[in-house]
Structure 1
């Protein structure tokens, strides 16, 4: 159980990439008054948490309604993870999710979705759908722990960027991208193995 919790925690930490999203949060909140920034951070983290929780609980029902198998979701999710990881290792203009050019206080987009609860995170929590109560509780616990990490990181985002500097932040993001690449490949191979067994 502890191993499952740790594995889920690490995977969710990688796919939501809080440290890699620090520059995005700093930029998005730069035009928000300082007294409101913490409220916006808490709100966006809460929205992302609820969205991921809903996908975790109703993942299998969604798959059934769309007539998708868990194997196809695993392989498709691994491809998305791999693409996100490539953009982390080899940054592109506009960041991981592009720049919508909007001004003012951010609401849901781009911070809650897709910065935190992006396609890779949604695909990952869909795979956590489980029949046993114990596994469900472990996954919810891991998601809650990761949400607390988001809060801690994003509430101190400006300080982190100033203390560590842009080079260290970039290096850390690329390291996270490298680890996520390996996780994506592992997920892809597991999907292919399951597919071959089903033939």
Structure 2
């Protein structure tokens, strides 16, 4: 369960999200900012828990096999990780003064496609209680980190945050390649 929670935490990429969340919530007062982050983390947790319980049956209804999800999740994770290693300019709606609701913090920043696909994959192989617990642990850790983002960002500075994001990107590239290889392996074994 701890290894699954750690993997999910890495895929959620709260270190990479520090800069984005700081930018999105820049005009929001400190106390309200904490509640916005906690609300968004709660919504993201709900999305991931829904994926735990509904994701597998939904794949079955759609006729999708596990290796297809593993390959697709690996490709999406690879693209996200590439974006972390080689970031382009992120476009954020600067005219909006309201706090975000669901998009972009809850989804896709916290509960992105890679996190959702990983949760579905693990819910097919692991006990649902274990996967649900891992989701709760990873979401709580991510929320704590995002709530503390002003302190972390001031401690690390912009360059430190960017360096940490790139390190996480490298780790996620390795994880995504492993997911793709596992998906290909499962595909070829199912066809043999």
TM-score by length of 1: 0.90
Following TM superposition, the consecutive aligned residue runs of length 4 or more in structure 1 with deviations greater than 6 angstroms are none
- How much does 1:76 deviate? 0.7
Which of 14, 19, 24 in structure 2 is aligned with 1:23?
19
User: Could you say what secondary structure the match of 2:184 adopts?
Assistant: helix
Instruction: Tell me what 1:99 maps to.
Output: 92
Matched, 1:195 2:191: no
Counterparts of 2:89 and 2:112, CA distance in 1:
18
Alpha-carbon distance change, 163 to 184 in structure 1, aligned in 2, over 3 angstroms = same
- How much does 1:90 deviate? 0.7
- How much does 1:69 deviate? 0.9
Which of 134, 140, 145 in structure 1 is aligned with 2:132?
140
Instruction: Tell me what 1:68 maps to.
Output: 64
Instruction: Tell me what 2:30 maps to.
Output: 34
Matched, 1:121 2:94: no
Instruction: Give unmatched runs, 5+ long, in structure 1.
Output: none
TM-score by length of 2: 0.94
The CA RMSD measured in Å over matched residues stands at 1.4
Instruction: Tell me what 2:176 maps to.
Output: 184
- How much does 1:7 deviate? 2.4
Greater CA drift, 100-109 or 170-179: 100-109
Which of 109, 113, 116 in structure 1 is aligned with 2:103?
109
Counterparts of 1:106 and 1:193, CA distance in 2:
41
Instruction: Give unmatched runs, 5+ long, in structure 2.
Output: none
Say which structure is richer in helix. Answer: 2
